[in-house]
């Protein structure tokens, strides 16, 4: 199961940790609880982001935050990421950085 665009706060990242924050109205108990519920059904859980600075709908995205996002999603129990890229320079290197961060995270 995959959560698509609009799952985070549109206002941006946590000013201290720089982590994306789940929208508390849509996900009052956070993303980790959703991941646990999806896993309890025997399914994999994915989340959406973009290789740019913002998603197509205008929410914050992963460019420049690949390590933080990979670590955050691993902690939340996210199994995969659906990535949509806009036509920007460096998309391939952005994907490669994100893949490397995911592979080196402590998620088993």
pLDDT digits (tens, 9 = 90+) for 1-56: 889 889 999 998 999 999 999 999 999 999 999 999 999 999 999 888 888 888 88
DSSP 37: H
57 pLDDT exceeds 60? Answer: yes
Looking only at the bridges linking them, the beta strands covering 8-13 and 20-22 are antiparallel
Domain that holds residue 86: 2-104
Arithmetic mean of pLDDT, 73-82: 86
Q: Are 46 and 26 in contact (CB under 8 A)?
A: no
Q: What mean pLDDT is predicted for residues 45-70?
A: 88
Q: What is the DSSP letter of 51?
A: S
Burial 58-77 (b: 16+ CB within 10 A, else e): ebbbbbebbbbbbbbbbebb
Domain total of the chain: 1
Residues in the chain: 108
Q: Give the residue, 63 or 98, on which the prediction is more confident.
A: 63
pLDDT score, position 97: 62
């Amino acid at each position: 199961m995959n959560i698509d665009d609009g799952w985070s706060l549109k206002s941006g990242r946590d000013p201290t940790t720089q982590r994306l924050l789940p929208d508390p109205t849509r996900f009052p108990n956070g993303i980790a609880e959703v991941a646990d519920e999806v896993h309890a059904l025997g399914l994999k859980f994915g989340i959406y982001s973009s290789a740019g600075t913002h998603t197509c709908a205008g929410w914050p995205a992963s460019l420049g935050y690949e390590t933080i996002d990979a670590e955050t999603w691993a902690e939340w129990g996210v199994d995969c990421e659906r990535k949509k890229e806009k036509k920007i320079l460096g998309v391939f290197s952005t994907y490669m950085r994100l893949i490397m961060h995911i592979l080196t995270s402590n998620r088993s």
